[in-house]
């Protein structure tokens, strides 16, 4: 019998072995009291405690308890009522071995190698930005900012996670206006720039909205995977949109921080299974809270060989600017998207200069030079150092 192995971090006043048994029972065939029929089903569907040592609990769930191609149901088993058990002071789902279920998911339509080929960008990280201010700009002003970024040679421009189809910046008008600007720059320079337009909405509309975006010329779409749901991404992957899917993890802190929740590596695995091409995984240096071990594991879950899936881009974002590039590339290597918002648009000489400064920081890292040394012959990087201080 194939098993789906799960690992939890657990704190409880009761012995960890007893807490583990309560979790296993609650999430499979048991309940708080004896139920006669449980004996009939436990042998085939009951979860088994593999080990319970220190604060680490390992539990196996039989494959048969899952509706294999139904992520909401899968999560109801491995990350369901257990978080509400009164006897637990802390409980976090740290890892899931999805191997027995992976065959039911085709994975991403596009991966790292596909995107590199589209961009003609090899042996370097990608550099992207978020339109800033994140909300409030008109479609025309959004296109202006996007154009300034593209002229700097940017690989990826994305909407903010809070920008969808509001009245001040309607999606259709925004998309066509931005893509018109980017296509003209592409014709002039030969450099492709992706625009990840945010199609996040309800389950009854997201496929239609994404397909409309592609019909209107989108070369990438973006989904807030935790607010829309993993199945939203799965639905987009199933229809094969023909463009990469950029995944934002907004709301992740409600799951990944604190004593109860789900770790980022689990979210990364599910994103890859469901069809995302890029996933925000955090920074090794930036403004957001970080758990370095979880970033390492999420990074590896996206890029290592697994189930025949394409490799997926981790995205470092949140308080990035040239001075933070080295620390992130030292840990991510070149298969990463460096996503800088204020660190590009806040450059003293403007957005285009901000893009160039980010690329120059990458070049300095590749050349094993300090930013100060490289900035002597690169004015945009020098401007970033003057604005935000010395290299870190």
Which of 190, 167, 174, 126 has its CA nearest to residue 338? 126
Beta strands in 270-366 (DSSP E): 278-280, 313-317, 337-339
Q: Which of 92, 246, 248, 356 is catalytic?
A: 248
User: What radius of gyration, in Å, describes the C-alpha atoms of the chain?
Assistant: 23
- Distance CA(18)–CA(191), nearest Å, equals 60
Instruction: Measure the N-to-C terminal CA separation of the chain; round to a whole number of Å.
Output: 52
Parallel, antiparallel or unpaired: strands 220-224 and 245-248: parallel
Instruction: Give the CA distances from residue 131 to residues 173, 197, 372, in Å, rounded to whole numbers and listed in that order.
Output: 16, 11, 28
Task: Determine contact, residues 241/210, Cβ cutoff 8 Å.
Answer: yes
Determine the 3-state secondary structure of 310 from DSSP: coil
Annotation marks residue 42 as catalytic:
no
Contacts 24+ apart (CB under 8 A), 77-84: 77/27, 77/28, 78/4, 78/6, 78/27, 79/262, 79/266, 80/26, 80/27, 81/26, 81/27, 82/8, 82/23, 82/26, 82/27, 83/260, 83/261
Q: Which of 21, 92, 132, 324 is catalytic?
A: 132
Annotation marks residue 240 as catalytic:
no
Known catalytic residues are: 132, 248
């Amino acid at each position: 019998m194939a098993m789906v192995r799960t690992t939890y971090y657990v704190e409880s006043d009761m012995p960890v072995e007893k807490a583990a048994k309560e979790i296993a029972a609650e999430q499979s065939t048991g309940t708080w009291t004896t139920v006669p029929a449980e004996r009939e089903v436990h042998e085939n569907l009951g979860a088994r405690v593999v080990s319970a040592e220190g604060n680490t609990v390992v539990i196996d769930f039989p494959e048969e308890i899952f509706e294999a191609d139904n992520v909401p149901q899968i999560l109801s088993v491995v990350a369901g009522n257990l978080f509400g058990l009164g006897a637990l002071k802390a409980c976090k789902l740290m890892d899931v071995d999805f191997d027995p279920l992976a065959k039911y998911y085709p994975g991403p339509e596009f991966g790292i190698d596909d995107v590199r080929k589209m961009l003609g960008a090899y042996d370097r990280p990608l550099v992207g930005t978020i339109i800033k201010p994140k909300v409030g700009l008109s479609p025309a002003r959004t296109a202006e900012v996007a154009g300034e970024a593209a002229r700097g040679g940017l690989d990826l421009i994305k909407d903010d996670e809070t920008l969808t189809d509001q009245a001040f910046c309607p999606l259709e008008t925004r998309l066509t206006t931005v893509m018109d600007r980017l296509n003209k720059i592409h014709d002039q320079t030969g450099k492709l720039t992706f625009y990840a337009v945010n199609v996040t909405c309800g389950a009854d509309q997201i496929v239609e909205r994404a397909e409309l975006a592609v019909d209107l010329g989108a070369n990438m779409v973006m989904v807030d995977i935790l607010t829309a749901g993993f199945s939203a991404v799965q639905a987009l992957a199933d229809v094969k949109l023909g463009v990469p899917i950029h995944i934002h993890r907004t709301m992740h802190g409600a799951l990944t921080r604190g004593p109860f929740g789900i770790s980022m590596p689990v979210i990364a695995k599910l994103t890859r299974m469901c069809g995302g091409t890029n996933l925000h995984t955090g920074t090794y240096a930036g403004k957001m809270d970080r758990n370095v071990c979880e970033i390492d594991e999420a990074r590896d879950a996206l890029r290592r060989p697994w189930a025949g899936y394409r490799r997926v881009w981790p995205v470092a974002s949140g308080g990035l600017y040239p001075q933070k590039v080295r620390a992130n590339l030292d840990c991510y290597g070149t298969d990463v998207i460096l996503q800088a918002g204020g660190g590009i648009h806040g450059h003293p000489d403007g957005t285009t200069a901000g893009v160039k400064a980010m690329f120059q920081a990458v070049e300095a890292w590749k050349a094993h030079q300090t930013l100060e040394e490289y900035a002597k012959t690169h004015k945009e990087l020098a401007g970033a150092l003057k604005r935000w201080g010395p290299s870190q």
